[in-house]
Amino acid sequence: MRVVMLGTGDAIGTPKIGCRCPTCVDALNGGRSRRLRFSILLESEDGRVLIDTSPDLRWQLIKMGISKVDAVIWTHAHYDHYAGFGDFHRVQNHVPVYATRSTMDYIISYLYFLRPERHDVKPLEPFEIAGMEFTLFEVNHPPVETMGVLVSDGGKRVVITSDTSDALPEESLDLMRDADLLIADAIMPPGYKLNKHMNAEEAMSLARRVKARQTVLTHLSHLYPPHDEAVKRWPLAHDMMSITL
């Protein structure tokens, strides 16, 4: 299984419009601080699956040379996680899409014109796409229902927290334990506290709790130092980062 971090930014991406902080300047100058919005590509021997469809999806797919996927999984109904699905217009018809019913209802009402192939999923009930097994599990991102994703392939396990605080249900923590790779929301560096996201310190503490073998932090804001400086302190992902398990 190959995991590609198509976009590692938060809802506004980096550079932030109108900002001249050191991180945004690094991004404007072509540095690794440049972050498109959140999407993850999972590839197996049998196909490709997108976790969320960033508003920057068009550029992400072009950069990867991809014109077809086997399915899309949506974690929740915030625009930075689904709005780019419209970029399949005149590219791929009737894309199979997977999400919980409430998430699906909201997103399909916006993207109805694409007539995707709808698959409603219940939390903690595994399903298979392209030879990979997926399980959605509840996380904590109020007030929107939000799911993390467990992916299993060939004995390897990847956990994607999606957007969440570290106050997770016990049954979700049980599912997350001993992952080969944890991809964790860490929107801000330590010193900031939000009730629906983790900072880097909280995300790394969660990684220790669930005994993840490898951790990368994503959904990152411009409040971090420039990437090449920040990555010395935290395992920050960067756009188009590829991990093979």
Residue-wise pLDDT tens digits, 10-32: 999 999 999 999 999 999 999 99
**pLDDT of res. 65:** 96
DSSP 3: E
Interval 158-188: pLDDT, tens: 999 999 999 999 999 999 999 999 999 999 9
**pLDDT of res. 102:** 97
Q: Quick one: tokens of 218?
A: 């994503």
**pLDDT of res. 123:** 98
Q: Quick one: tokens of 62?
A: 């072009």
Backbone angles phi, psi at 232, to 5 degrees: -70, -20
CA 18 to chain centre: 25
Q: What is the mean pLDDT of residues 116-124?
A: 98
pLDDT confidence bin for 237, thresholds 50/70/90: very high
**Is the predicted pLDDT of residue 139 greater than 90, yes or no?**
yes
Q: Quick one: tokens of 135?
A: 């399980």
Mean of the per-residue pLDDT values for the chain? 97
Q: What is the mean pLDDT of residues 217-228?
A: 98
**pLDDT of res. 193:** 86
Q: What is the mean pLDDT of residues 67-73?
A: 97
The rounded distance, in Å, linking the Cα atoms of 218 and 212 is 15
Q: Which residues contact 43 (CB under 8 A, 6 or more apart)?
A: 1, 2, 3, 4
**pLDDT of res. 49:** 98
